[in-house]
Copies of this chain bind each other. A is one copy, B any other.
Amino acid sequence: MNGIHNTSPEACSDFPAVLERVFAFATSVQHYMEAGLTAHGLSRPRASVVWLVHRNGPQTQRALARAIGVTARNVTALVDGLEQSGFVRRVAHPEDRRALLVQLTDQGRSVTARLAAEYERHSAYLFAGLPDEQVRQFVASMDLVMGRLAQVATGTVDR
């Protein structure tokens, strides 16, 4: 690759410093996401609802709550907001009369299409010029760290 032969005395990685970079990176990505969604009239939590329905089809609020990891009460609020702003609609569940299905409206389908197009465009720019190998390794590193974060979080490791 590009020989960054850091021969300096402390050539070894400063792990806490790397973790701080990871935090900064995550925050930066978060801001990017929020900004993009806001421009389309969506917040991050609402977008997660829209995206789940887009990907997996009409679902009960209960299913959404489990997928997102929030309480049922919260999904009620999110869907309320999304219904008011016209992105989704609640319809009766065909078999279970307790449940409702959340489905996208035309406006909801339109916004997911625009977001997908935007991400395609942006991702092409974000990773332009990077050697394939570097991209692969980047993804591999993220996956590895993500996996270990999960272990730290679940207490598999000492906290």
Contact = CB atoms under 8 A, between A and B. Distances in A.
Given A130-B144, A149-B126, A136 B6 contact: yes
A130 B130 CA distance: 21
Nearest to A30: B26
Interface string A104-135: 00000000000010111111111110101111
Interface stretch (A70-78, A90-98, A150-158): A150-158
Given A1-B125, A126-B145, A29 B23 contact: yes
Interface residues of A, number: 63
Interface string A11-31: 111011011111111101111
Given A26-B33, A126-B15, A146-B24, A121 B4 contact: no
23 contacts: A2-B125, A13-B132, A13-B135, A15-B126, A16-B116, A16-B123, A19-B123, A19-B126, A21-B139, A21-B142, A24-B146, A25-B146, A26-B26, A28-B149, A30-B30, A32-B149, A39-B159, A122-B159, A125-B152, A130-B141, A130-B144, A137-B137, A138-B141
Given A13-B136, A15-B123, A25-B146, 14 more contacts: A2-B128, A4-B124, A4-B136, A16-B123, A18-B135, A18-B139, A19-B119, A19-B127, A24-B146, A121-B158, A125-B157, A126-B145, A134-B141, A137-B137
